[in-house]
Amino acid sequence: MKKKLATWLVCTAMAVSLTACGGSGKTADSAASSAVSEAASSGSEAESAAVSESEEAESAAASESEEAESAAASESEEAESAAVSESEETESAAASESEEAESAAASESEEAESAAASESEEAGSAAASEGTEAAAGTASERAAANEIVIGIAQDLDSTLDPHYAVAAGTREVMFNVFEGLVKPTPEGDLIPAVASDYTISDDGLTYTFTLRDGILFHSGEPVKTSDVVWSIERNADTSEGEPLIPAFASIEEITSDDTTVTIKLSEPNNEFLSYMTVAVLPESYDKQDTDPVGTGPFRFVSRVAQDSIVLERFEDYWGEPAHMDRVTYKVNEKMEGLIMGLQSGALDLVSHMSSTDTAQLDPAEFNIEEGTMNLVQALYLNNSVEPFDNELVRQALCYAIDRQGILDMAFDGYGSLIGSAMYPAFGKYFDESLTEYYTYDPEKAMELLAEAGYPNGFEMTITVPSNYQPHVNTGEVIAEQLSAVGITATLEPVEWATWLSDVYAGGKYQSTVIGLTANDMTARALLERFNSAAADNFIYYKNDDYDKLYKEAITTYDDEAQTAIYKDMEKNLTEHAASVFIQDMADMVAVRKGLSGLQFYPLYVLDVSTLQWDS
CATH number at residue 214: 3.90.76.10
Residues with Cβ within 8 Å of residue 9, at least 6 apart in sequence: 16, 17, 18, 19, 20, 21, 22, 23, 24, 25, 26, 166, 167, 168, 500, 504, 514, 516, 517
Prediction pTM value: 0.73
Q: 250: number of CA atoms within 13 Å, CB side?
A: 19
Pairing of strands 376-381, 511-516: antiparallel
Structural domain includes residue 505: no
Residue 562 pLDDT class (50, 70, 90 cuts): very high
Determine the structural domain holding residue 107 and report its residue range.
91-121
Pairing of strands 488-494, 459-465: parallel
Q: Contact 254/232 with Cβ under 8 angstroms? A: yes
Least confident of 34-43, 110-119, 364-373: 34-43
Q: Please say if the pLDDT value at position 138 is more than 60.
A: yes
Instruction: State which of 248, 277, 306 marks the end of a domain.
Output: 277
Structural domain includes residue 117: yes
Q: Please say if the pLDDT value at position 159 is more than 50.
A: yes
In a 3-state reduction of DSSP, which class is residue 359?
coil
Long-range pairs for 115-123 at CB < 8 Å and ≥24 separation?
Answer: 115/82, 115/83, 115/84, 115/90, 115/91, 116/80, 116/81, 116/82, 116/83, 116/91, 119/64, 119/89, 121/89, 122/304, 123/89, 123/91
Instruction: State which of 277, 298, 332 marks the end of a domain.
Output: 277
Q: Contact 156/170 with Cβ under 8 angstroms? A: yes
Residues 306-357 pLDDT 10s:
999 999 999 999 999 999 999 999 999 889 999 999 999 999 999 999 888 9
Regarding whether 117 and 203 lie in a shared domain, the answer is no
| CA distance linking residue 231 with residue 278, whole number of Å | 8
Q: Contact 293/427 with Cβ under 8 angstroms? A: no
Domain count, the chain: 2
Single-letter residue type at 405: G
Q: Please say if the pLDDT value at position 188 is more than 80.
A: yes
In a 3-state reduction of DSSP, which class is residue 381?
strand
Regarding whether 271 and 188 lie in a shared domain, the answer is yes
Structural domain includes residue 583: no
Structural domain includes residue 189: yes
Structural domain includes residue 530: no
| CA distance linking residue 265 with residue 269, whole number of Å | 8
Residues 389-404 pLDDT 10s:
999 999 999 999 999 9
Structural domain includes residue 96: yes
Structural domain includes residue 64: no
Give the helix ranges, DSSP H, for 82-127.
99-107, 110-117, 121-124
Residues 244-298 pLDDT 10s:
998 999 999 999 999 999 999 999 888 999 999 999 999 999 999 999 999 999 9
Instruction: State which of 246, 277, 308 marks the end of a domain.
Output: 277
Single-letter residue type at 152: I
Residue 517 pLDDT class (50, 70, 90 cuts): confident
Q: Contact 438/419 with Cβ under 8 angstroms? A: yes
Around Cβ 292, how many Cβ atoms within 10 Å? Answer: 22
| CA distance linking residue 175 with residue 186, whole number of Å | 13
Regarding whether 188 and 108 lie in a shared domain, the answer is no
| CA distance linking residue 172 with residue 603, whole number of Å | 9
Q: Please say if the pLDDT value at position 128 is more than 60.
A: no
Structural domain includes residue 267: yes
